[in-house]
Amino acid sequence: MTTTYLAERMNPDFGFYLKNNRLLTAQQSEWQRIEVFENTQFGRVMRIDDCFMTSERDEFYYHEPMIHLPAIAHSGVRSALVVGGGDGGSVEELLKLPGMERVVLAELDAQVIEVARAWLGEIHHGAFDDPRVEIRLGDARQFIGETEERFDQIVLDLTDPFGPATDLYTVEFYQACKRALNPGGVVSLHLGSPIHLPESMCRIAASVRAVFPIFRPYLQYVPLYGTLWCMGMASDATDPATLSAEAVDARIAERHLRDLQLYNGATHHALLAQPNFVRQLFAQPAQPLRRGDVLEEVRDPSEFPAVRITAE
């Protein structure tokens, strides 16, 4: 019997693999190749352009910190915008927040949402059909640049910064996000890994710092990504570092947040803690990204031939 393993190359010298127990769907949209397959360790896994994106059993390692660390720091999120995030995991976490009145999901590729609807119910839990959710298809950069709407929380749940997506990691895009926030509003994003993409992480951080007076990077190991992952929160006035662990737990209780598998008062502070090597990385000068810039460290997955390992 032949066993197939799917490998993702993080850079020319580093990568990892997952066993493909069964391919459930493989589709080519206008923008990208989308696959969902079953894996004993992770359950159903979504892969886009040969990059592992999310899985049923580890999605909370990524989605809970992205949503709840900034949301708990805020006085009370009522409106939110998710850019990307077509798997529905970020939207589902936002809908847990009491008082949430409206979530806009701005996704470029409708096919990602349709694949998630069909195969990833254990991640989105029907969030796409919640009456508070509005789906906007198309270019998020144009939407944020033109919208007159204002949000308490913006979540940048994006693919990696290569090709056209790089423009969503620039000073200009963060300026547009800032204009779309209510006073005290919060933005969260991922910056990549300090392990295999340290220069890119620091340039993205420098871009956010060029726009927002408060920026707090935080770290979480994400099993599906195979490495330590850096996220960040930015605001004009809201700072998650000012909350004690006890205050975080009190807000979680007051807001009746349930079904959290990772986030609590202790992990809030653990996320914000930085190892010395990460402190040293962020202390180095870094050039903010401007529209048209390219992150040399971040390689388009198409530059790496897809790797499928078979074993008898």
Give catalytic residues, as residue numbers.
Answer: 157
Contacts of residue 283, defined as CB under 8 A and 6 or more positions apart, other chains included, come to none
If one counts every other C-beta atom within 10 angstroms of the C-beta of residue 302, the result is 13
| CA 308 from centroid of its chain's CA atoms | 26
Contacts of residue 162, defined as CB under 8 A and 6 or more positions apart, other chains included, come to 295, 298, 299, 300, 301
Strands 133-137 and 51-55: unpaired
C-beta of residue 203 within 8 angstroms of C-beta of residue 284: no
Would residue 183 be called left, alpha or beta, if left means φ above 0 and alpha means ψ between -120 and 50 degrees?
Answer: beta
User: Rounded CA gap, 262 and 218, in Å?
Assistant: 14
| CA 277 from centroid of its chain's CA atoms | 23
Q: Which two tokens mark 293?
A: 């810039």
Q: To 5 degrees, how large is the angle CA 261–CA 47–CA 176? A: 75
Distances (CA, A) of 96 to 3, 117, 224: 39, 19, 24
Long-range CB pairs of 100-104, under 8 A, 24+ apart, other chains included? 100/132, 101/132, 102/78, 102/132, 102/134, 103/79, 103/130, 103/132, 103/133, 103/134, 104/79, 104/80, 104/133, 104/134, 104/135, 104/136, 104/149, 104/151
